[in-house]
Amino acid sequence: MKRREKKHIHKKKIRSLYVFYYTIGQDRELIKKEALAEDIKLLNLLKSVHPWAELYSHSYSKVVATFLNMIGWLEPIIEAARSPNRKTAIIAILDELMDGEYDESFNLLNSYTEDERGVFLAFFVATLKNLDALAAFRKSMDELIQEAAFDNEALFNAVLIDRTAVTHPIIAKKISMAELIEDDVFMTELAKSISRQRARRRRHLDETRMMIELIDDVIGIDSLTYEQVAESLIDDLQIFPDTGKDPVEALKKNVQKRRRSRGK
């Protein structure tokens, strides 16, 4: 590999991650649009969806892996897991997925029964909600819900991201207890999350937070310099906002804040 190509390979990897994140978000918007248009085929599919809050008992990486498996990417996933360079192998899978090689996936989905499509839709939504949670709070839904057992703030944040989280056993138990002791303060805060009136972190940093999480999981944030991360998020993808301050220093503080929040 030429030196110049090697120098910028991290940009290609990060760009592939961003395209994956962006594309799956576009799929969500398409579903919303077709549902509002009362597309009969889609509405029938939505009726078959399985409750997905139970999937938050599993790590988000397992949920995403299962989702990719359900669209016909079992073999690439297995090969990536066995690869001596797992991170590069995962990036290669994303590259193929983003290059439009969907025929096999569509054929597989069309072969599913109505019940199987309902399960697939549950994993699709759970994947989206996990990405939303990472973007908003730097934590996946399974992390927020596990913390909800002893931290009401995490509980309210989980419900803010996905209102179906109230059906998860951990959160349902906390709500039941609050009802028994008539904890009106708890119920008021819960209502704010359900109605989306609860304050949350600044949305203009969502994509930055999301990408930092994906970079760390797939590439390893510590394997890159702050300058390399900045080059991708600021210059290439242009998703880190211009605050008028030193952008590299501002991004560095964002990454350091994330490390502190995760106890790293």
In a domain? residue 177: yes
Assess whether 143 and 212 both reside in one domain: no
In a domain? residue 230: yes
In a domain? residue 129: yes
Boundary of a domain, candidates 167, 194, 221: 194
Assess whether 142 and 252 both reside in one domain: no
In a domain? residue 3: no
pLDDT higher than 90, residue 162? yes
pLDDT band at 73 (very low <50, low <70, confident <90, very high): low
Determine the Cα–Cα distance for residues 195 and 2; give it in Å rounded to an integer.
Answer: 54
pLDDT higher than 70, residue 215? yes
In a domain? residue 1: no
Boundary of a domain, candidates 194, 220, 253: 194
For 259: left if phi > 0, alpha if psi spans -120 to 50, otherwise beta; the answer is alpha
Residue scoring higher pLDDT (54 or 28): 54
Instruction: State which of 37-46, 81-90, 115-124, 147-156 shows the largest mean pLDDT.
Output: 147-156
Question: Which amino acid does the sequence have at 181?
Answer: I
Assess whether 85 and 154 both reside in one domain: yes
Question: Which amino acid does the sequence have at 148?
Answer: A
The range of the structural domain enclosing residue 256 comes to 203-261
Assess whether 96 and 215 both reside in one domain: no
Average of pLDDT values for 6-21? 58
Number of domains, the chain: 2
Predicted model pTM: 0.66
Spell out a b/e string for 110-128, using b for 16 or more CB atoms within 10 Å of the CB, else e: eeeeeeebbbbbbbbbbbb
In a domain? residue 2: no
Assess whether 233 and 135 both reside in one domain: no
Assess whether 55 and 159 both reside in one domain: yes
Residue scoring higher pLDDT (92 or 185): 185
Boundary of a domain, candidates 194, 213, 240: 194
